[in-house]
Amino acid sequence: MTSGGSEAAARDFALAAHGDQRYGERPYAAHLEAVVAIVASLPADDDAAALAAVAWLHDVLEDTQTTAEALRERFGEVIAAAVAHLSDPPGASRRERKALLHRRLAGLEHEPASERLALIVKAADRLANARASAADNPRLLAMYRGEHGELRAAAFRPGLCDPIWAELDALLG
């Protein structure tokens, strides 16, 4: 990240970008905080700060007016690339967008760092969504169950965030 690219800066940037958006009945911050908490629960590594930043920023390209260039300028290439890997490509339907995203995720590896960060945050994002849906939206939970096999085939890498995948499999498998 650039010199101003701390986790706090990513948090502030994401919260400002999402503004008054909602996550169901809650402010969008609730979803972002849930994703950050999930990645923070993993064993610490040298990229913990970058991982937290990507967790805060993971939806800004997809759900706000933020550009990839703005992310690159503010947070550096690794974080901007990770967020770009996570963002749904354009498509006519959710099914089409997710198929294109899963194709992209399937090509990612443990290295470079941007790809590894994206794979971890994608799993954390889905777990946050599944937990929230299990609590109060059975329709969404059913949708995530229907997508689980394809997402797992595309994004699971043995040894990379296995505790997240274990919980996802228990909730959605």
Point out the residues of the chain with pLDDT beneath 70.
1-5
Residue 4: what pLDDT? 41
What are 34's two structure tokens?
Answer: 């849930």
Residue type for position 110 = H
Residue 1: what pLDDT? 41
Centre a 10 Å sphere on the Cβ of residue 149 and count the other Cβ atoms it contains. 11
Separation CA 4–CA 30 (nearest Å): 24
Residue 45: what pLDDT? 77
Q: Are 17 and 64 in contact (CB under 8 A)?
A: yes
CATH of 7-172, one of 1.10.3210.10, 3.10.20.30, 1.10.645.10, 3.40.50.80: 1.10.3210.10
Residue 46: what pLDDT? 77
What are 67's two structure tokens?
Answer: 């550009």
The closest of 113, 87, 118 to 100, measured between CA atoms, is 87
Residue 2: what pLDDT? 42
Based on its alpha-carbon atoms, the radius of gyration of the chain, rounded to whole angstroms, reads: 15
The closest of 80, 7, 4 to 44, measured between CA atoms, is 7
Q: What values do phi and psi take at 141, rounded to 5?
A: -60, -40
Separation CA 51–CA 54 (nearest Å): 5
Centre a 10 Å sphere on the Cβ of residue 38 and count the other Cβ atoms it contains. 23
Residue type for position 45 = D
Total count of residues recorded for the chain: 173
Would you kindly state where each structural domain of the chain is located, as residue ranges?
7-172
At 127-137, the pLDDT tens digits run 999 999 999 99
Separation CA 122–CA 82 (nearest Å): 10
